[in-house]
Amino acid sequence: MSKDFRERPVRRVNPSGATVWVARVSGPGGRRFTYKPEWNRGKGTFARRGEAQRAIDEYYELRTGPPRTPETVGAYAATWTERHPRANRTNRTNDGRIRQLLDVELEGRRLRDWPFRELKRRHAFELVAHMLTVQGRATTGVQNILRTLSAMAEDAITDEAADVNFVRGVKVRASDPRARKPREAKRVFGWERMHEFAAAGRPDARARTLKPDGKHYYPPHDYEAMLRLFADTSMRLGEVLPLERADFKPAGCGTGDCRVASAHFHVRRTAHDASAEAGTKTDHGEPVSGRVVPCPPTLSRLIQDRPARIDTPLLFPTPTGKLFWERNFYRDVWYPAIKASGIDCEPHEFRHSYLSLLRAEGIDDADLAAIAGHTVETMIGHYTHALGHSFDRVRELIG
């Protein structure tokens, strides 16, 4: 990678249809060639873009010394999501959030012109005040932008462009009097409603649903079990896509003392842009390496009734046996179910619903937090919402 970070891996598609990344670099005199590091067994192609970028970085560091990291917030933000890529949807969201702040003036200087190392905690509070009073954002929107800014600051520390995360620990109260826009209400769907949505993934329902072109129907693939997973386990989309058959343990499998008493999933990897990696999403500052999630009997039967595929270890592969890209999942699975069921929803709303409904039924907070992969405080603060189920009891007790 050149010193201004403009050297990028080259994307190629093999004859087999697999996407690979090539570490193309410029040698002395400008001659272009493929760099083949020893740690990649002497090959210059990589399954993941991040690994190809690492090889390019390594080549230029060996040739010219460590690359210069942009020091201002604006310069760093310009290449942040390329050097530390997440899922495409996440990258677009993060870029959009950061752009909302770059031209905010702090002490007479725009944020984009501030060196990361000079930013202090007071500047983060100035940004909060600007977002609430000038931009008119809801407190939840401000929290989301702060979370993105904090993630960028952490990556800047890794790249030695910053010394401290000036946003860490800055919180926005829901009752902040400066907020003029109400908090976005989280929708909680009941179990029947969520299961009705999942039923729209059955082959017969899909075969009756027209594609956006209005001429063709969706292929009659069976996605009911996949859609039920969001309602019945609270897993994130990035955790559902890379699940393998070995991650699902039905009740009674195994022998002797190793026999499984109740069905469950081992959630231990996440997927971004059709590539899986170990560990699940780091959310709210809490890295999650893996967890066990209980599987209800109906969902367990749906999964066990699916025909076994020998061409892939994935539990829910594409029709060709590949790992779903997120955008393809929405196009081929989620949006058709919305059209067939008439229920407009998002996968993450089912996660909120799962935790809110079970907590209202008295399930232990610590157990729910373990299922969600969060601390108890985060699970309660972000993922559980008032349902109003106790109002009649309140009236009865008061008399």
- Shared domain check, 33 and 126: no
| Residue 206, pLDDT score | 96
Inside any domain, residue 179: no
Q: What is the structure's pLDDT at 54?
A: 87
Same-domain status, 109 and 240: no
Q: Which amino acid is at 167?
A: V
**pLDDT, tens digit (0-9, with 9 covering 90-100), for 281-310:** 544 444 455 789 999 999 999 999 998 888
Count the Cβ atoms, other than its own, within 10 Å of residue 115.
Answer: 14
Q: Is the pLDDT reported for residue 103 higher than 50?
A: yes
Q: Is residue 53 part of a domain?
A: yes
Which is more confidently placed, 381 or 172? 172
Task: Give the range of the structural domain holding residue 54, as residue numbers without chain letter.
Answer: 10-64
Please state whether the predicted TM-score (pTM) of the whole model is above 0.85.
no
Tell me: do 255 and 311 sit in the same domain.
Answer: yes
Do 40 and 145 have their domain in common? no
Specify the pLDDT at position 6. Answer: 58
Does any domain span residue 198? yes
User: How far apart (Å, rounded) are the C-alpha atoms in residues 48 and 277?
Assistant: 10
- Convert the pLDDT of each residue in 55-91 to its tens digit: 888 888 777 665 555 688 998 998 898 888 876 778 8
pLDDT of residue 4: 43
53 and 77 share one domain: no
For position 397, what pLDDT does the model report?
64
Output the six-digit token pair for 318. Answer: 């594409």
Rounded CA separation 227/205 (Å): 13
Do residues 211 and 359 both lie within one domain?
A: yes
**Is 222 within a domain?**
yes
Give the chain's domain count.
Answer: 3
| 307/365 same-domain check | yes
In a domain, 305, yes or no: yes
pLDDT at 135: 92
pLDDT digits (tens, 9 = 90+) for 222-268: 999 999 999 999 999 999 999 999 999 998 776 666 666 789 999 98
Q: What is the largest CA-CA distance in the chain?
A: 88
- Output the pLDDT for position 394: 64
According to the model, what pLDDT value does residue 211 have? 94
Domain termination residue (choose one: 158, 175, 205): 158
Residues 337 and 288 in one domain: yes
Whether 39 is covered by a domain: the verdict is yes
> Which of residues 158, 175, 206 is at a domain's end?
158
State whether 270 and 301 are in the same domain.
Answer: yes
Report yes or no on 172 lying in a domain.
no
Amino acid at 331: R
Do 154 and 277 reside in the same domain of the chain? no
Contact of 186 with 219, CB cutoff 8 Å: no
Q: Are residues 246 and 362 in the same domain?
A: yes
Report the pLDDT averaged over residues 120-131. 95
Please write the tens of the pLDDT for every residue from 144-201. Answer: 999 999 999 999 998 888 989 999 989 888 888 998 877 666 789 999 999 999 999 9
Are 305 and 378 contained in the same domain? yes
Give 334's pLDDT tier (boundaries 50, 70, 90): very high
